Structure 1
Amino acid sequence: MCRRLDGIPLALELAASRAALLGIGLLAEHLDDRFRILTGGRRTALPRHQTLKATLDWSYRLLSRDEQKLLRWLGMFVNGFTLDAACAMAEHAGLTRMEALDAVSGLVSRSLLTTDFEGSSYRYRLLESTRAYALQQLDDNGERLSAAGAHAVLFLQMLETAQKRWAERPVVEWLGEFTRELGNLRTALDWTLGERGDHATGIALAAVTVPYLYDLSLVEECCSRARAALRIVPSEAREVGSVDVEAHLRLMSALAAALVYTEGPLTETREAWTLVLNEALQAGHANYVTRARWGVWNWHQYSGRARDALMLARRFGDLARSSGDATLVVLSGRVEGIALHYAGDQCRARELLERMIEEYEVKLLSRWHTTGFRIDHGIVARATLARVRWVQGERGGAYDLAARCFDSAVQYDHEIVICYVLVEALVPIALLNGDQAAARHGIDVLHELSTRFGFTIWSACCACYDAWLATLESPGADSIALLTSAISPLRATGYLAQLSPLQGQLAVALMKASRDKKALTVIDDALRHADDNGERWYYAELCRIKGDVLCKLDRHDEAQRWFATSLDWEQRNGVERTVAREASAARASLRVVSVQSRA
């Protein structure tokens, strides 16, 4: 409450007298109406000190006409503003720059504006009580709509300039500037996309805002702002005759890119990318055609459709090479490498990923993006390479690489990248290696970030990893029930790329609990999913687990065939050419079966 009242002594005194009657909680709920509730000062005080509004009325009357007008219009700013922004607002209010500078100086001298020194420049702000008073004066003078419109246009122009010049400065600098103005942008979007707002400005402002929201990992807000603008587009198009095609494509791309995290790779996400693709093809907008093809591939990859994802990845690679764009050619190595890994060609996947990482240059690849400007493709490519190395038997090396990827992602300070590395590499590799301490640390970080930023698919996956860890820490009925119940919400998101090892672990846990028939049902379902979708990265392990289940059911001849299939896939994966793995679990199991068969 002290912060909301800016530490103003009179406001705190009035609040204390009201708190005795209303209580702190109720008083805090009504502070938005502070001028009505903060009354009743000491009767012996001067009239201007008996209510907060009376004090501000008295200060306001001492201002010049220009200072009064500027104070009112500055009330539109949230969390501060620069001197240039104040002068731009003053110009909309009918003041010259010199008049604005004089008015700012006067407001500062009367302590109605506070100053903060940031970097190499000053930033100004109104105290919250003063800002509330300024907004009330805006309404009383019939200026709110004009001031709101000017405020929105000011920030639209700021972001349009940043969009044109973003390659001239590091992305982190633009993001810092954007973060400082986030409160202003939210206010501008709320008004422009509202019933009384300037919808044309709102659509344009949303289109340049959503990439930055994505870069800040604010995917839920990215979705909601894009949806709010897109809801207006049809009626707005009818009224004004057209809507900027690129703005519409940017909004649709942002919605599709964010939806995969907030909802999952469901039908709505695929349809959003398909709309982007069709509209971009019709408009001849090659950049958005490429983005949409990436998005459609990513949808198939995340939803566990490995066979279709590989086909789309190869198509993306063909288009990249035919375009002659060096950046896209390098990126296509990551796309094809991921798809090949899931489809089971680990040797070719490793070759492409290692080449892509070697050729990767941040300055080069930062020029291309699906939505925001900030994904580090080198970090996420190394995460996939860690998975490949695990499949090829390099268990320790795979985890070490995943851990280095995680450290790089943390240093890069992008929550989407951090969670990607945790979900795709560090946590599953730690679990598969039986490293419970490393898995626990990764799961805790993943839980905190996925919950805070609304990454629904990764939150669901985190719950599955947590349950998997429980089956290692405390095998038994409770942990089996936990893992079983965790898999269902993951299925509901459509994010099935990580399903196979989860089902494999569930089958193992069921075997340990001597529920062998149920284990067979689970592993058969996992193998069916793999066969139906052409997923082969974990196929050797699934076959080995099925062999183990069949052994427990005394079906040794069938088990031997599954162990042989497991060995065949391990050899395809390149396990035999690695030094780190002395012998596969499948070979050990096959020897056991051979002995049992001879006996």
Structure 2
Amino acid sequence: MRQKTRGNLPSELGGFIGRGGELDALGRLLDSSRLVTVTGVGGVGKSRLVLAAARAVSEPDGELPQERYCDGVWLAELAAVRDPALLEIALSEALGLTDHTTRPPRTVLAEHLAGRRLLLVLDGFEQLVDETAELVRELLRHSPGLRVLAAGRRPLALDGELAFPLAPLDGEASLALLTARASAADPAFRVAGADRAALAELCARLDGIPLALELAAARLRVLSPAQVLARLEDRFALLTGGVRGVLPRHRALRTAIGWSHELCTPAERLLWARLSVFAGQFDLDAAEYVCAGPDLPVDSVLDLVGELLAQSLLVREESPAGVRYRMLETVRVYGAGWLESTGDTGRLRRRHRDWYMGLATWCETDWFSPRQEEVAALVEAELPNLRLALECCLDDPEEVHLGQYLAGTLWFYWAGCGRLTEGRHWLDRSLECRESGTPTTTALPADEPSRLKALWVLGYVCALQGDAVAATSALYECRDGAARSGNALAAAYAVHRLGCLALVSDDMERAGELLGSALERYRDAGELNSNVLMCQVELGMALAFQGEPAGALSLCEEVREICEERGERWTKAYALYVLAYAALDAGATPEARRLLTECVEINHAFHDLVGLVLALELLALVTVAEGDAAEAAVLQGAAEPLWDGVGLRLFGSGYFNAPRLMCQERAGEVLGAERYAAYAADGRKLSREALVGRALDAGTGTGRESGKPAAPRRGRRVSTSL
């Protein structure tokens, strides 16, 4: 039985109608070329076709495609990406990569893809066509097992690319799509003999463009086919005018959307235009805040959203963050044009920015609460809008300080949810804007709180990436600026992160001094949050590494109690790591395993790669101490590739490195070098999800995904002393 191909393709909703021939032809092109681009006018069905083709090869009938795409079929939706610097990050996200290093994201992508065989589906790259083409060229050149299936209004214009122009649906397929969507909107819909001619004429007038047909189908819920056709005819001359030389199909789509726009009430049109300022998904609260005003009462927004949903102008989606809405890109662009014509775009973008600054502030506060995982899911869902808000701040020299505040406020997401690379991108940009000397009409002090916050967060991110030079520079600047301005809280954060930097640099005496000083500063300022507790955990680490387990246990037990009382889990995971370290040192391997199992589970849930790999390394040592050297070797081997995404292996630290070296030595003594290497190689083949599942299941004696059973628990027991 073949293993199901891995990937991230969404399930098909609504059925796939009328493209059987195109689907077969596209499959043949993929067999003969490593780059195929489906092109066509907006709304013609490019996205659905490439997704259908991708699904077809993800569970193929024959063996060849399965072998060709044995590493999965992955979708990267790029329509919401506007900043070229985020293109590689978006592709990394789509592939499920987490990288905390200072390596360029393009290098990370290339290294990940180099030895893999997979299909990468790119959708919505038009706004970054040149940058996308350059990236695809480089990835294809260095990844012989990679194939790319793209969908856009124009080809990428690369050597070896096969363009697949997608024509509108023919008459029969158009009618089938129109009637299917009308029946879905209204189960009572029936095609009577007299209506068939009107429906066929409607399909012809809309040139078989699927988006246009679906918009028309929504109207068939309240109008007869003849009425729909008549209303379209009434506005045809007005809505097909415009720039000379525009293709008829472009005009037909514009007719369909413009016709839907004309059929909307003035309030619906106004909301449509204002909703165009959102990127990706949004929720009702955001829509009410951003879009409401004297001409659009807040209590009317819910009903208007319902009307736009009924007309297929909005899409309702379920997400881990709850019910959300999304506007199809073509519909959004049309609304944005109307908003621009009213001269209200700037005001709406600022309201959008204000909402997401408020959201980030609330999320930072709520991170230290039982809603921590909810906050992580919400920020993940809102990331396209948060990026747009950051762009809005940094595009205006007068509002750079707001960008610094927003980038700094999201520290918990950058550090706690595996987003170090993107966090550094925004922090660097926000700080460079001020340093660039861009003139402003409002003179802002260099030591303002927003800048100091961005500096200590940047120092934190750089330290976790293993970039000690950049971390030191940012933290010293923050500390000195805090001293000049009398900002005691910023000074505490700077001292704390300098202590963290000393910790990962193996300067334990200095780490203890700085972390202890930071804790005193936090207490004097009345500060208590995840950062403060993390400082206490890091001080516990310094004590544990220096052979003072009693002090480490006291500090981390207190942190665990506070975390359990407050519902905080992210910092708790690090406290569990220190407690497990002390338990293993005392020979209490069952307790160490219990603590590390919870630690792994939490870190994986938050995508915290640093915490995850530290816990896995220590769990491997626990496993060899229990007598299962083979399973320890598998876990150890599987953890090794994770460090490539963290940065400098174990921060170059002898203290953090000790469990890994001990595990290798002790497991190697039991297995021998050759068998140890074989089990470790098995581990390196595991996906992160499989590795975590195996770690959580370790000790049961059951078979593992690697195909080799866990070694029986026999043979020489090893010392547990660290």
Contact 1:357–1:381 (8 Å) recurs in 2? yes
Pick the aligned partner of 2:355 from 144, 154, 164.
154
Question: How far apart are residue 292 of structure 1 and its match?
Answer: 2.0
Cα deviation, 1:190-225, whole Å, max 9, x if unaligned, reads 443348995454333323233333232212112111
**DSSP-derived class of the 2:206 partner:** helix
Give 1:165-176 correspondences, 5 Å limit.
Answer: 170-176=371-377
Pick the aligned partner of 1:406 from 580, 583, 596.
596
Query: In the superposition, relative to structure 1, how do residues 7 and 338 fare at CA in structure 2: closer, same or farther (>3 Å)?
Result: same
Contact 1:116–1:124 (8 Å) recurs in 2? yes
Which residue in 2 is equivalent to 1:298?
500
How many matched pairs?
472
Pick the aligned partner of 1:50 from 167, 191, 208.
208
Q: Which amino acid aligns with 2:502?
A: H
Q: Which amino acid aligns with 1:410?
A: V
Which residue in 2 is equivalent to 1:254?
457
Contact 1:419–1:450 (8 Å) recurs in 2? no
Which residue in 1 is equivalent to 2:434?
233
The TM-score, its normalising length taken from structure 1, stands at 0.63
Equivalent-residue separation in structure 2 for 1:129 and 1:457 (angstroms): 44
Question: How far apart are residue 31 of structure 1 and its match?
Answer: 4.8
Pick the aligned partner of 1:89 from 285, 290, 300.
290
Which residue in 1 is equivalent to 2:577?
383
Cα deviation, 1:464-522, whole Å, max 9, x if unaligned, reads 9599479665537x97xx99xxxxxxxxxxxxxxxxxxxxxxxxxxxxxxxxxxxxxxx
Which residue in 1 is equivalent to 2:673?
475
Which residue in 2 is equivalent to 1:356?
555
Equivalent-residue separation in structure 2 for 1:303 and 1:194 (angstroms): 37
**DSSP-derived class of the 1:376 partner:** helix
Query: In the superposition, relative to structure 1, how do residues 196 and 299 fare at CA in structure 2: closer, same or farther (>3 Å)?
Result: closer
Contact 2:431–2:454 (8 Å) recurs in 1? yes
Equivalent-residue separation in structure 2 for 1:361 and 1:91 (angstroms): 44
Which residue in 2 is equivalent to 1:214?
415
Equivalent-residue separation in structure 2 for 1:337 and 1:140 (angstroms): 60
* Deviation larger for 247-256 or 204-213: 204-213
Equivalent-residue separation in structure 1 for 2:379 and 2:438 (angstroms): 27
Q: Which amino acid aligns with 1:48?
A: L
Give 1:142-541 correspondences, 5 Å limit.
Answer: 144-163=345-364, 170-194=371-395, 199-234=400-435, 235=437, 239-242=441-444, 245-262=448-465, 264=466, 266-313=468-515, 315-316=517-518, 334-343=537-546, 346=547, 349-363=548-562, 375-377=570-572, 379-388=573-582, 390=584, 394-395=586-587, 397=588, 399-412=589-602, 413-416=605-608, 418-419=611-612, 421-422=614-615, 425-428=618-621, 430=623, 435-443=628-636, 446-447=639-640, 450=643, 454-458=645-649, 465=660, 468=664, 475=673
Query: In the superposition, relative to structure 1, how do residues 424 and 268 fare at CA in structure 2: closer, same or farther (>3 Å)?
Result: farther
Cα deviation, 1:280-310, whole Å, max 9, x if unaligned, reads 2223232332222221122112112234334
Segments of 5+ residues of structure 1 without an aligned counterpart are 484-580, 586-599
Q: Larger Cα Rg: Structure 1 or Structure 2?
A: 1
- Is 1:65 matched up with 2:266? yes
Q: Which amino acid aligns with 1:279?
A: G
Pick the aligned partner of 1:25 from 36, 57, 66.
36
Contact 2:393–2:400 (8 Å) recurs in 1? yes
**DSSP-derived class of the 1:26 partner:** strand
Equivalent-residue separation in structure 1 for 2:501 and 2:320 (angstroms): 42
Equivalent-residue separation in structure 2 for 1:126 and 1:583 (angstroms): 61
Query: In the superposition, relative to structure 1, how do residues 283 and 148 fare at CA in structure 2: closer, same or farther (>3 Å)?
Result: same
Equivalent-residue separation in structure 1 for 2:389 and 2:520 (angstroms): 43
- Is 1:105 matched up with 2:306? yes
Cα deviation, 1:327-355, whole Å, max 9, x if unaligned, reads 99987764444323333xx2xx1111222
Percent sequence identity is 19
Question: How far apart are residue 26 of structure 1 and its match?
Answer: 0.5
Equivalent-residue separation in structure 2 for 1:214 and 1:445 (angstroms): 23
Q: Which amino acid aligns with 1:457?
A: L
Contact 1:14–1:40 (8 Å) recurs in 2? no
Which residue in 1 is equivalent to 2:100?
none
Equivalent-residue separation in structure 2 for 1:16 and 1:582 (angstroms): 59
Question: How far apart are residue 258 of structure 1 and its match?
Answer: 1.5
Structure whose residues are more often helix by fraction: 1
**DSSP-derived class of the 1:123 partner:** strand
Question: How far apart are residue 242 of structure 1 and its match?
Answer: 1.2
Cα deviation, 1:533-567, whole Å, max 9, x if unaligned, reads xxxxxxxxxxxxxxxxxxxxxxxxxxxxxxxxxxx
Which residue in 1 is equivalent to 2:174?
none
Question: How far apart are residue 81 of structure 1 and its match?
Answer: 1.9
Q: Which amino acid aligns with 1:376?
A: T
**DSSP-derived class of the 2:324 partner:** strand
Equivalent-residue separation in structure 1 for 2:294 and 2:636 (angstroms): 53
**DSSP-derived class of the 2:36 partner:** helix
Contact 2:424–2:461 (8 Å) recurs in 1? yes
Equivalent-residue separation in structure 2 for 1:149 and 1:22 (angstroms): 46
Equivalent-residue separation in structure 1 for 2:497 and 2:523 (angstroms): 18
**DSSP-derived class of the 2:359 partner:** helix
Q: Which amino acid aligns with 1:159?
A: A
* Deviation larger for 60-69 or 143-152: 143-152
Question: How far apart are residue 228 of structure 1 and its match?
Answer: 1.4
The TM-score, its normalising length taken from structure 2, stands at 0.54
Query: In the superposition, relative to structure 1, how do residues 268 and 351 fare at CA in structure 2: closer, same or farther (>3 Å)?
Result: same
Which residue in 1 is equivalent to 2:42?
none
Contact 1:422–1:446 (8 Å) recurs in 2? no
Question: How far apart are residue 445 of structure 1 and its match?
Answer: 5.6
Segments of 5+ residues of structure 2 without an aligned counterpart are 1-7, 39-49, 51-121, 127-151, 155-164, 172-199, 212-252, 682-716
**DSSP-derived class of the 2:673 partner:** coil
Contact 2:364–2:409 (8 Å) recurs in 1? yes
Equivalent-residue separation in structure 2 for 1:304 and 1:285 (angstroms): 29
